[in-house]
């Protein structure tokens, strides 16, 4: 085992399972389960006057129809506020089933459990609900005004929270600035739309009072803890498994969605396995969205384009409820300065309730908005002052010698934002060289002469990743010499079963394919936080490293006793531990595992040899298990980062707009990216390419069409346009590696990077092509048509 | 016959399977929940995402848009049939692993089944042609470039495998002599 | 998203289909390819009491049939058979070209040509092709059979001229005649989506020049036609043709707004796609 696995493009351990149809997603469990369906509100805002379930209950094959009236105790209260914040004035979370008022189309009103999902849907359609419609807060900006219709009838306005911070002297710097600009930037809602919708299978055993739940979640440990509390059970009697999860992108991290508690509750009530698999129509209105924000920006600059001060006021669309607190606008505010040195910076945001699907982080989580605002500002200031767009960025970059860099605002974990490391100018240079910027400028000039609309958009970003509080890993070396690693974070396709195995492989000298990662199963490891915020590789990865180092020490101690050599003289390689300089003198790891657990139970020749070695190992001890040791080769370790680590990058898109159709074609999409040390470049590239596809989707294809009554009018994949292969270009990817000093592996997260600058890059590119500002996203051919032909409108 | 079941016969992955179905049951549900073939995934149930794509009488089709009764007597091929019995991956599958053509794996069976009828010719297709051929399949993880490389490279994987098989045979013959 | 309950019928002959419709008429739906009907069932936008599954009709052709004047598609000719058919390629090239734009391969495996006409979606390609070519449909009931010209077939969005007890047992496209030329153009957001606007163009020799029928999709409640009067071929290439078609489009099309395009944008597209299609169709044909 001389080749280092860390850093190698190792093929994925999980792939054969997925490729042969043996992946196990939540709907693949318990085919005999009862099927659940939920009746959801058809109104954006209404009072519930009456619910009549008699007809539904009378239908053959229906086992239960539940409304809020059936709920008792804690379950009849609003669901928990996951991330409280002192700046929330009026936090509202939804009930597991709506009580007296529905506040968005899609809010769950009643639950049906039946023989199968077909019958459950029949019955849900037979429930009669008498609603009294209430005024609707549908539009974010409208809802933020004084006197707007209120999203919750017990509130006087829609303001849920407000946070403001200032560093330096913004007013002073703006009044002293040579150039002052004011702009408005808007970005609409977007959503994750993983290919696998949410789903829950709950099996409550009423004899042992224990619950086993399969949940397509990104945070099984949190779901488990909450359910244990809800049912008043010892957490050891509650287990939650996030099996293979078909994409999450943040949307599946919320706990609790109403269905997660209701399905478990119904299973207990009926004493039978109950399954609910969200269908796509439900997913559009029942799973969280993100992004909607309107920003007003005031910028002061000098003649050279240095940004002297920035004053940002923005509103953020909470949707109808705020179980995730203020995280999204906090991240926007904290990340808006990006890679730039802005001495005077002030923000104020208000979090606004609307009668729409609640919002919570979706890949990027507030950063796409921040980067869109900042990068539009850079392009607009450059345009106003006649400075090249790359030059203005250079002039404002934080220098490579300025780290750690205090950004001067609060981070989502409550601490200050401090960038750990970076080299932003080098990143831009790498990108521009790959792009051949002078050649582009020449092409553009020629294209303009021919009447073609060619444009370039650049977007730089810094991404805070790898936040705490902690993750853990439990590693075991098994008797056959293979290794299992249990981590509490689940996986939604990020390649955990491979990258964590690579880390372990280097420590223990065991081939990657002999290392099995078990993730997201609270039966295996109960303590953990979850897969989100580009944190798994950083936080769980370093926990895996620590656990591997601990188990290695244990194995070395056993080997040292067995081989009668000192620990320092041992080498771990090729699944064995041998004496340095004498590869033939050694013990396979599996034998060490047997030796470490002095029982006579194992099969095979290895065991016989191990027993003989064990006799030697214990010869010098007064008992089979030496004082201070524990049986087996296993270790559990946790890693708790001191602070987040900050990845960065620059994207560029070359686009052309077709004059005949007003359609956008992306001719090239070039990426520079730096996420510190790379564990597996193949997987990192895949994350970036996939993230960019979501960025492009959100910038040009995916657009929620809500009407004035807050009805979502395009809740199908026919009208909500996730791009196909025909719409997404293949990236040109370039990396630098600036290690993080804050963790032993030197890594930073990569999960969200690709998506973050999408809106900024496309907005800047279109603006460049058309020679007009693009300050409202997303775009579409229709919007381009209206920009290009304002006189033809209507 | 409202709600009553009908017995139908499907040839699934070469094996005849009799199954009692309600007329309204979708083929996707019957494959998954009645026949236990959970490799076929369901992503939208309105024919747009393509996760549930299987071969019906040899052609790629949405199993969520077929009533099982309606395809009574048909030959259905699902992802479970691709690998050899000893577990060796089909060249197309191996190519997906080699070129990182999957992340969460949920859309993957649909892409594999869509590409099954043409993968051997894919390397002669232009990038645009290949994209067009797999348009109709949504992937939310990969951004498609790994998938395109996987399908494009599958024939090379098959050739490589043939070469190593034949060189092994030659080596074995040498040993025999 | 599961279909509601219905009574399932599996006729084995065309007569049985007619008999079932005579009995159940407006409470029934015909299931052929199912690529439009089954999504509607899954969304529960359609809830027929009776579903008449014609997939098991005996002795039905799976390929189009070439006749003296027509290429005829029986009820079980799938899109994929049509797009691979040499007869279609040579005799109905407009349909052949348009089929590339119909959804995706996995939809075309099951979808049928007759079903696309019977569904009568004004945003779909094949009804526009039928309209541009002046094809006809064969309606069948227990009362007998009648032929309906494409101009009389499409009545409104998803509404056609069939009576409740009738079903569409065949669709006929005229064979390409000497000198005719064709082109199909559309603009959709994603590959395979319903187009924001599209046009099927049929150019026919007329005197020493050619006339062109443009049948538009996505711009009205049914396919909308614009007739471009006969003129020398060279005039189509002239910049003034753009202006003339722009005038015709503004005079004759009243496209509705939808979430992807306003009426104004659709007219904008209709002019440009129409010019392109007309020029291409004319250049493919030959005046007498």
Beta-carbon separation of A279 and B45 below 8 A: yes
Q: B74 and B99 share a domain?
A: no
Answer yes or no: do A319 and A308 share one domain.
yes
Tokens of A486: 């249990």
Binned at pLDDT 50, 70 and 90, residue A2 comes out as low
CA distance, residue A23 to nearest chain B CA (Å) = 7
When pLDDT is averaged across residues C151-158 and rounded to a whole number, the result is 96
| Confidence tier at A793 by pLDDT (50, 70, 90) | low
Residue B49's domain is classified under what CATH number? 3.10.20.30
Which pLDDT band holds residue C284 (cuts at 50, 70, 90)?
very high
Tell me which of C81 and A618 has the higher pLDDT: C81
B125 and B76 both lie in a single domain: no
B67 touches chain A (CB under 8 A): no
> Using alpha carbons only, what angle is made at residue C65 by residues C169 and C121, rounded to the nearest 5 degrees?
45
Residue A143 inside a domain? The answer is: no
Are A227 and A216 a contacting pair, CB within 8 Å?
A: no
Average predicted confidence (pLDDT) for chain A: 95
The Cβ-side half-sphere exposure at C135, using a 13 Å CA radius, reads 31
Q: Is residue B3's pLDDT more than 70?
A: no
Q: Which residues of C touch A723 (CB under 8 A)?
A: 190
Structural domain includes residue B1: no
Q: Tell me the residue ranges of DSSP E strands in C63-166.
A: 65-66, 70-73, 136-141, 144-149, 154-156, 159-160
Read off the pLDDT of each residue in A326-348 and give the average, rounded to a whole number.
97
Chain pair A-C, CB pairs under 8 angstroms: 71
Domain count, chain A: 3
Q: For residue C165, what is the DSSP state? A: T
Q: What is the pLDDT of residue B167?
A: 82
- Determine, yes or no, domain membership for A438: yes
Tokens of A559: 């080997």
Instruction: Report domain extents, chain C.
Output: 7-54+62-176, 181-284
Beta strand A582-588 pairing with A633-639: unpaired
pLDDT over 90 (residue C105) = yes
pLDDT of residue A606: 75
Bridging pattern class, strands A483-487 and A515-519: parallel
DSSP C55: G
> What is the C-alpha to C-alpha distance for residues A111 and A53, in angstroms, rounded to an integer?
10
DSSP B35-74: S--TTS--S-SSSSS-TTEEEETTEEEEGGGSBGGGGTT-
Residues A418 and A450 in one domain: yes
Same domain, A500 and A536: yes
Question: CB-CB: which of C5, C259, C261 is closest to A714?
Answer: C259
Q: Are residues A683 and A734 in the same domain?
A: yes
Per-residue pLDDT at B177 exceeds 70: no
Domain boundary among B32, B62, B81: B81
Query: Residues 224 to 253 of A: which have CB under 8 A from any B CB?
Result: 244-247, 249
What's the confidence (pLDDT) of residue A31?
87
The predicted model gives C177-191 an average pLDDT of: 97
The CATH number covering residue A78 comes to 3.90.1170.50
Residue from A334, A610, A322 nearest A462 by CA: A334
Label residue A602 by pLDDT band (50, 70, 90): low
Question: Rounded to the nearest 5 degrees, what angle is found at the Cα of A250, between the Cα atoms of A21 and B98?
Answer: 40
Tell me whether strands A128-133 and A46-52 are parallel, antiparallel or unpaired: antiparallel
Substitution target in B62, B80, B104, B152 with the highest count of A β-carbons within 10 Å is: B104
Q: Given CB atoms, is C69 within the 8 Å cutoff of chain A?
A: no
- Asked if C259 and A713 come within 8 Å (Cβ–Cβ), the reply is yes
Best mutation target, A781, A783, A791, to test chain C (most C CBs within 10 A): A781
**Are residues A462 and A473 both part of a single domain?**
no
Residue of C nearest to B24 (CA): C3
Look at the block and give the residue holding tokens 């945003």: C123
Query: Do A627 and A647 sit in the same domain of this protein?
Result: no
Q: Do A246 and B104 touch (CB under 8 A)?
A: yes
Chain mean position to CA B65: 17
DSSP per position, A481-540: S-EEEEESS--SSS-HHHHHHHHHHHHHT--GGGEEEEESBTTT------S-TT-IIIII
B162 and B108 in a common domain: yes
* Contact predicate A222/A520, CB 8 Å: no
| Claim to verify: residue B105 and residue B172 sit in the same structural domain | yes
Q: State yes or no: pLDDT of B171 exceeds 80.
A: no
Angle at A480 between CA A476 and CA A482, to 5 degrees: 50
Among A52-66, A325-339, A359-373, A604-618, whose mean pLDDT is lowest? A604-618
pLDDT at A315: 98
Q: Determine what percent of chain A is predicted with pLDDT higher than 70.
A: 99
- Give the pair of three-digit tokens for residue A702: 């995916």
The two tokens of residue C182 are 């064709």
Asked if A94 and A215 sit in the same domain, the reply is yes
> Does residue A156 fall inside a structural domain?
no
pLDDT band at A1 (very low <50, low <70, confident <90, very high): very low
| B62 interaction partners in chain C (CB closer than 8 Å) | 35, 106-107, 110
In this prediction, residue A59 carries a pLDDT of 98
Q: Between chains, do B64 and C190 touch, taking CB under 8 Å as contact? A: no
Domain CATH for A598: 3.30.365.10
Contacts of residue C279, defined as CB under 8 A and 6 or more positions apart, other chains included, come to C183, C236, C237, C241
ipTM for the assembly? 0.96
For A251-278, the pLDDT digits (tens) are 999 889 999 999 999 999 999 999 999 9
Strand order in the sheet with A732-735: A453-465, A645-657, A664-674, A732-735
Residue C20 CA to residue C37 CA, distance in Å, equals 18
Do A223 and A199 contact (CB within 8 A), yes or no?
no
pLDDT bin (cut points 50, 70, 90) of residue A620 is low
Helices A389-396 & A424-435 angle (0-180, nearest 10): 160
**Distance (Å) from the alpha carbon of B107 to chain C's nearest alpha carbon:** 14
Question: Do B111 and B69 have their domain in common?
Answer: no
Cα–Cα distance, C137 to A138 (Å, whole number) = 47
Q: Which of A577, A605, A639 is the last residue of a domain?
A: A639
A423: exposed, middle or buried (Cβ count in 10 Å: 0-12, 13-18, 19+) = buried
Chain C residues whose CB is inside 8 A of the B135 CB are 104, 190-192
Fill in the DSSP letter of residue C72. Answer: E
Q: What's the total number of domains in chain B? A: 2
Which residues of B fall within a CB distance of 8 Å from A16? Answer: 87, 89, 93, 97
Mind telling me how many Å the CA of B63 is from chain C's nearest CA? 10
DSSP reduced 3-state for A398 = coil
Contact at CB, B47 and C39, closer than 8 angstroms: yes
CB-CB contact of A646 with A421 (8 Å):
yes
Count CB pairs under 8 A between chains A and B. Answer: 185
**Per-residue pLDDT at A624 exceeds 50:** yes
Q: Are residues B20 and B75 in the same domain?
A: yes
Residue B155 lies in a domain: yes
Cα–Cα distance, C42 to B65 (Å, whole number): 9
| Residue pLDDT, tens place only, A684-730 | 999 999 999 999 999 999 999 999 999 999 999 999 999 999 999 99
B101 has pLDDT over 80 = yes
Last residue of a domain, one of A639, A654, A679: A639
Give the pLDDT confidence score for residue C226 in this predicted structure: 98
The alpha carbon of residue B26 is apart from the nearest alpha carbon of chain C, in Å, by 8
Please compute the mean of the pLDDT values over residues B35-39 and round it to a whole number. Answer: 98
Determine the Cα–Cα distance for residues C89 and C92; give it in Å rounded to an integer. Answer: 6
Mean pLDDT of B159-177: 80
CA distance C216 to chain A (A): 16
Residue of B nearest to A494 (CA): B103
CB contacts, 8 Å: B2 with chain C: 5-7
The residue segments making up the domain with residue B57 are 6-81
Strand boundaries in A594-700, DSSP class E: 633-639, 645-657, 664-674
CATH class of segment(s) C7-54+62-176: alpha beta
Using a CB-CB distance cutoff of 8 angstroms, which residues of chain C are in contact with residue B1?
7-8
Which among C1, C44, C269 has the least Cβ separation from residue A661? C269
* B44: pLDDT strictly greater than 50: yes
Q: Which two tokens stand for residue B124?
A: 């002669």
Asked if the structure places residue A341 within a domain, the reply is yes
Chain B residues touching A14 at Cβ < 8 A: 105
Sign of CA dihedral A291, A292, A298, A302: positive
| Cα–Cα–Cα angle for B63, B68, B73, rounded to 5 degrees | 105
Terminal C-alpha separation, chain C: 56
Nearest to A182, CA basis, from A734, A671, A773: A773
Q: Which two tokens stand for residue C212?
A: 């062109």
Q: Which residue of A has its CA nearest to B24?
A: A118
Give just the sign of the alpha carbon dihedral A610, A613, A619, A622: negative
The number of beta carbons lying within 10 Å of the beta carbon of residue A624 is 12
Beta strands in A357-397 (DSSP E): none
Domain annotation covers residue B108: yes
Asked whether the beta carbons of residue C260 and residue A122 sit closer than 8 angstroms, the reply is no
Domain-embedded: residue A6: no
Partner-chain contact C268 A785, CB within 8 Å: yes
Beta bridge partners of C225: C215
Judge whether residue A385 has pLDDT over 90. yes
Q: What are phi and psi of A119, to 5 degrees?
A: -70, -35
Q: Which of C2, C259, C276 sits opposite A121 (nearest CB)?
A: C2
Across the interface, whether the CB atoms of B38 and A27 are under 8 A apart is answered yes
Q: What is the pLDDT of residue B2?
A: 46
Tell me if B144 is assigned to some domain: yes
Structure tokens at B171: 């080596």
How many Å apart are CA A761 and CA A722, to the nearest integer? 18
Residue A168 is assigned to a structural domain of this protein: no
Run of H or E residues at A282: helix A280-286
Kindly state the helix (H) or strand (E) to which residue A312 belongs, with its residue range: strand A307-319
Q: Which domain holds residue A569?
A: 468-639
Q: Which residues does chain A have within 8 Å of residue C190's beta carbon, measured at their own beta carbons?
A: 701, 721, 723-724, 726-727
pLDDT tier at C44, thresholds 50, 70, 90: very high
Strand locations in chain B (E): 6-12, 15-21, 53-56, 59-62, 75-77
**Do B99 and B65 share a structural domain?**
no
Sign for the pseudo-dihedral over CA of A768, A771, A774, A778: negative
Q: Would the CB atoms of C107 and B47 count as touching at under 8 Å? A: yes
pLDDT tens digits, one per residue of A117-133: 999 999 999 999 999 99
Do A318 and A202 share a structural domain? no
Residues of chain A found within 8 Å of residue C192, distances taken between Cβ atoms = 724, 726
Q: Which two tokens stand for residue A533?
A: 């915020």
**Testing the interface with A: which of B27, B98, B140 to mutate, by most A Cβ within 10 A?**
B140
How many whole angstroms separate alpha carbon A99 and alpha carbon A78? 9
A149 domain-assigned: no
Residue B62: phi, psi to the nearest 5? -80, 120
The CATH architecture one would assign to domain C181-284 is 2-Layer Sandwich (3.30)
- Which phi-psi region, left, alpha or beta, contains residue A248 (left: φ > 0; alpha: ψ -120 to 50)? alpha
Supply angle C-alpha C44, C47, C52, rounded to 5.
Answer: 125
Chains in contact with B, counting 3 or more C-beta pairs less than 8 Å apart as contact: A, C
Cβ contacts of residue A71 below 8 Å, gap of 6+? A95, A96, A97, A265
Nearest to A686 among B80, B142, B148 (CB): B142
Closest partner residue to A195 (CB to CB) among B36, B106, B135 is B106
CA nearest to A108, candidates A123, A97, A95, A122: A97
Residue B53 lies in a domain: yes
Q: Best residue in B65, B69, B128, B144 to probe C by mutation, most C CBs within 10 Å?
A: B65
In degrees and rounded to multiples of 5, residue A671 shows phi and psi of -125, 130
Report if residue A423 sits inside a domain.
yes
């Amino acid at each position: 085992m001389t080749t280092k696995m860390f850093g190698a493009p190792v093929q994925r351990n999980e792939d054969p399972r997925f490729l042969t149809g043996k992946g196990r997603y939540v709907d693949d469990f318990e085919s005999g389960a009862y099927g659940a369906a939920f009746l959801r509100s058809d109104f954006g805002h209404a009072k519930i006057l009456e619910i009549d379930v008699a007809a539904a209950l009378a239908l053959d094959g229906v086992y239960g129809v539940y409304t809020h009236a059936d709920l008792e105790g804690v379950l009849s209260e609003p669901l928990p506020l996951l991330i409280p914040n002192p700046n929330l004035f009026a936090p509202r979370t939804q009930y597991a089933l709506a009580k007296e008022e529905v506040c968005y189309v899609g809010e769950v009103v009643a639950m049906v459990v039946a023989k199968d999902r077909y019958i459950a849907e029949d019955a849900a359609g037979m429930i009669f609900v008498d609603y009294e419609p209430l005024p609707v807060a549908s539009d974010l900006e409208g809802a933020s005004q004084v006197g707007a219709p209120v999203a919750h009838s017990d509130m006087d306005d829609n303001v849920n929270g407000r946070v403001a911070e200032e560093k330096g002297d913004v007013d002073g710097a703006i009044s002293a600035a040579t150039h002052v600009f004011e702009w408005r930037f808007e970005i609409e809602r977007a959503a994750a739309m993983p290919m696998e919708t949410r789903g829950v299978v709950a099996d409550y055993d009423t004899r042992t009072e224990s619950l086993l739940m399969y949940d397509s979640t990104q945070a099984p440990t949190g779901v488990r803890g909450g359910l244990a509390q809800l049912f008043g059970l010892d957490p050891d009697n509650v287990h939650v498994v996030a099996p293979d999860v078909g994409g999450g992108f943040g949307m599946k991290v919320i706990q609790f969605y109403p269905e997660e508690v209701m399905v478990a509750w119904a299973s207990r009530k009926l004493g039978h396995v109950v399954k609910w698999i969200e269908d796509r129509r439900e997913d559009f209105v029942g799973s969280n969205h993100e992004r909607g924000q309107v920003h007003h920006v005031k910028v002061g600059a000098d003649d050279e384009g240095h940004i002297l001060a920035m004053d940002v006021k923005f509103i953020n669309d909470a949707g109808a409820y705020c179980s995730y607190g203020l995280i999204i606008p906090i991240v926007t505010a904290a990340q808006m300065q990006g890679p730039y040195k802005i001495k005077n910076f002030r923000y104020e945001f208000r979090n606004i309730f609307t009668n729409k699907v609640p919002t919570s982080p979706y890949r990027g989580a507030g950063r796409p908005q921040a980067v869109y605002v900042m990068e539009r500002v850079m392009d607009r200031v450059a345009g106003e002052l006649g400075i090249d767009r790359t030059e203005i960025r250079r002039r404002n970059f934080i220098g490579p010698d300025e780290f750690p860099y205090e950004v001067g605002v609060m981070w989502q974990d409550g601490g200050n934002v401090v960038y750990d490391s970076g080299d932003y100018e080098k990143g831009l240079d790498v990108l521009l060289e790959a792009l051949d910027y002078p050649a582009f400028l020449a092409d553009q000039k020629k294209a303009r002469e021919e009447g073609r609309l060619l444009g370039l958009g650049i977007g730089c970003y810094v991404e805070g990743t790898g936040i705490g509080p902690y993750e853990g890993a439990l590693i075991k070396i098994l008797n056959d010499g293979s290794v299992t690693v249990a981590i509490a974070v689940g996986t939604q396709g990020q390649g955990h079963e491979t990258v964590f195995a690579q880390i372990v492989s280097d420590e223990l000298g065991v081939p990657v394919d002999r290392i099995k990662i078990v993730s997201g199963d609270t039966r295996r490891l109960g303590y953990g936080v979850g897969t989100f915020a580009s944190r798994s590789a950083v936080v769980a990865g370093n926990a895996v490293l620590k656990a591997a180092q601990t188990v290695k020490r244990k194995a070395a101690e056993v080997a040292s006793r067995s081989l009668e050599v000192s620990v320092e003289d041992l080498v771990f390689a090729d699944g064995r531990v041998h004496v340095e300089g004498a590869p033939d003198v050694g013990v396979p790891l599996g034998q060490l595992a047997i030796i470490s657990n002095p029982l006579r139970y194992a099969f095979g020749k290895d065991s016989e040899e191990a027993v003989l070695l064990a006799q030697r190992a214990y010869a010098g001890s007064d008992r089979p298990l030496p004082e201070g040791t524990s049986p087996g080769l296993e270790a559990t370790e946790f890693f708790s980062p001191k602070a987040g680590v900050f990845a960065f990058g620059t994207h560029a898109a070359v686009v052309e707009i077709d004059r005949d159709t007003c359609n956008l074609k992306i001719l090239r999409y070039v990426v520079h990216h730096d996420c510190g040390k790379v564990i597996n470049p193949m997987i990192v590239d895949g994350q970036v390419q996939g993230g960019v596809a979501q960025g492009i989707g959100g910038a040009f294809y995916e657009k929620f069409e809500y009407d004035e009554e807050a009805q979502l009018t395009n809740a199908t994949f026919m009208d909500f346009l996730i791009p196909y292969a025909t719409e997404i270009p293949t990236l040109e990817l370039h990396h630098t590696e600036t290690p993080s000093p804050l963790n032993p592996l030197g890594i930073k997260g990569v999960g969200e990077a690709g998506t973050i600058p999408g809106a900024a890059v496309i907005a800047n590119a279109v603006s460049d092509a058309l020679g007009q500002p693009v300050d409202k996203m997303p775009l579409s051919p229709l919007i381009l048509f209206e920009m290009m032909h304002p006189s033809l409108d209507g | 016959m409202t709600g009553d079941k009908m017995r139908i016969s499907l040839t699934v992955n070469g094996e005849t399977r009799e199954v009692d179905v309600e007329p309204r049951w979708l083929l996707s549900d019957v494959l998954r929940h009645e026949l236990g073939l959970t490799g076929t995934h369901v992503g939208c149930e309105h024919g747009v995402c393509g996760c549930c794509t299987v071969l019906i009488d040899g052609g790629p089709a949405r199993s969520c848009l077929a009533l099982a009764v309606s395809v009574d007597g048909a030959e259905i091929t699902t992802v479970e049939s691709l690998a050899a019995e000893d577990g060796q991956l089909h060249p197309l599958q191996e190519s997906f692993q080699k070129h990182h053509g999957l992340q969460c794996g949920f859309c993957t069976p649909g892409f594999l089944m869509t590409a099954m009828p043409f993968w051997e010719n894919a390397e002669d297709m232009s990038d645009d042609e290949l994209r067009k051929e797999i348009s109709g399949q949504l992937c939310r993880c990969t951004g498609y470039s790994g998938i395109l490389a996987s399908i494009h490279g599958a024939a090379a994987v098959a050739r490589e495998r043939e070469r190593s098989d034949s060189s092994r045979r030659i080596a074995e013959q040498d040993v025999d002599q | 998203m599961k279909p509601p309950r219905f009574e399932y019928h599996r006729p084995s002959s065309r007569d049985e289909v007619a008999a079932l419709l005579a009995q159940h008429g407006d409470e029934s739906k015909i299931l052929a390819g199912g690529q439009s009907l089954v999504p509607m069932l899954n969304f529960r936008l359609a809830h027929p009491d009776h579903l008449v599954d014609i997939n098991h009709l005996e002795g039905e052709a799976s390929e189009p049939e070439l006749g003296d004047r027509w290429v005829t598609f029986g009820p079980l000719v799938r899109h994929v058979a049509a797009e691979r058919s040499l007869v279609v390629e040579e005799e109905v090239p407009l349909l052949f070209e348009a089929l590339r734009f119909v959804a995706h391969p996995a939809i075309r495996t099951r979808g049928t040509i007759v079903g696309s006409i019977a569904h009568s979606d004004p945003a779909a390609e094949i009804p526009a092709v039928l309209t541009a070519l002046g094809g006809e449909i064969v309606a069948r009931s227990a009362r007998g059979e009648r032929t309906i010209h494409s101009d009389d077939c499409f009545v409104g969005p998803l509404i056609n001229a069939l009576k409740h007890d009738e079903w569409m047992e065949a669709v006929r496209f005229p064979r390409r005649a000497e000198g005719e030329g064709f082109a199909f153009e559309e603009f959709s957001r994603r590959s395979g989506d319903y187009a924001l606007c599209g046009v099927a163009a049929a150019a026919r020799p007329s005197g020493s020049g050619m006339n062109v029928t443009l049948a538009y999709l996505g711009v009205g409640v049914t396919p909308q036609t614009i007739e471009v009067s006969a003129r020398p071929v060279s005039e189509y290439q002239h910049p003034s043709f753009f202006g003339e078609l722009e005038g015709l489009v503004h005079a004759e099309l009243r496209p509705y707004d939808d979430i992807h395009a306003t009426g104004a944008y659709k007219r904008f597209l209709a002019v440009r796609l129409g010019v392109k299609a007309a020029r291409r169709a004319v250049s493919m044909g030959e005046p007498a």
